[in-house]
Amino acid sequence: MANKQVLSPLPGTFYRKPAPDQPPYKKEGDPVAAGDTIGLVEVMKSFHEVKSDVAGKVVKFLVENEEAVTAGQPLLEIDG
């Protein structure tokens, strides 16, 4: 089955963790259900949760923690 991508809904800074001292929402190999939060995008000091619209398993992240992203940029691949 082809891998699916989760896209960033907004431009900004991508975070894999809810807070700097907490573990990431998802790691490679973790199962993902549709609606699960996979990260945050900070745009102009406001934080927006990014939710997966597909179910499956995380294959790999395409963007590092705290990296700049554009709207529509693929964030991770899910094996669905």
Partner 1 sequence: MTIDRLLVASRGEIAVRIIRAARELGIRTIQVYSQADADSLAVRLADQAVEIGPPAAARSYLNIEAILSAAQKTGADAVHPGYGFLAENADFAEAVETTGLVFVGPAPATIRLLGDKITAREIAAKAGVATVPGSTGRMDDPQSACAVAEDIGFPVLIKATAGGGGRGIRIANDRTELERLAPQASTEARAAFGDGGIYIEKLIPRARHIEVQVLGDGQRVVHCFERECSLQRRRQKVWEEAPAATLPEDVRQKLCDAAVALAQSIRYRSAGTLEFLYDDETGDFYFLEMNTRIQVEHPVTELVTGIDLVREMIRIARGEPLRLRQGDISLAGHAIECRINAEDPANGFMPAPGVVDDLIIPGGPGVRFDTMLYPGCTIPPFYDSLIGKLIVWDDSRASALHRLERALGELDVSGVKTTKSLHQALVLDDDVRNANVHTRFLEQWLERDRLPPT
N-to-C CA span, the chain: 7
| Alpha helices (H) in the chain, listed in sequence order | none
By CB under 8 A, tell whether 64 contacts partner 1. no
Candidates 12-20, 30-38, 55-63, 72-80; binding stretch for partner 1 (CB under 8 A): 12-20
Q: How far is the CB of 68 from partner 1 (least distance, A)?
A: 5
Contacting residue, 1, 2, 21, 35, with partner 1 by CB under 8 A: 21
**Tokens at residue 66, please?**
């705290």
| DSSP assignments along 36-47, one per residue | -EEEEEEETTEE
What gap in Å lies between CA 68 and CA 70, rounded to an integer? 7
Which window, 5-13, 24-32, 51-59, 72-80, contacts partner 1 (CB under 8 A)? 5-13
Residues lying near partner 1 in the complex (CB under 8 A) are found at 10-13, 19, 21, 42-46, 66, 68
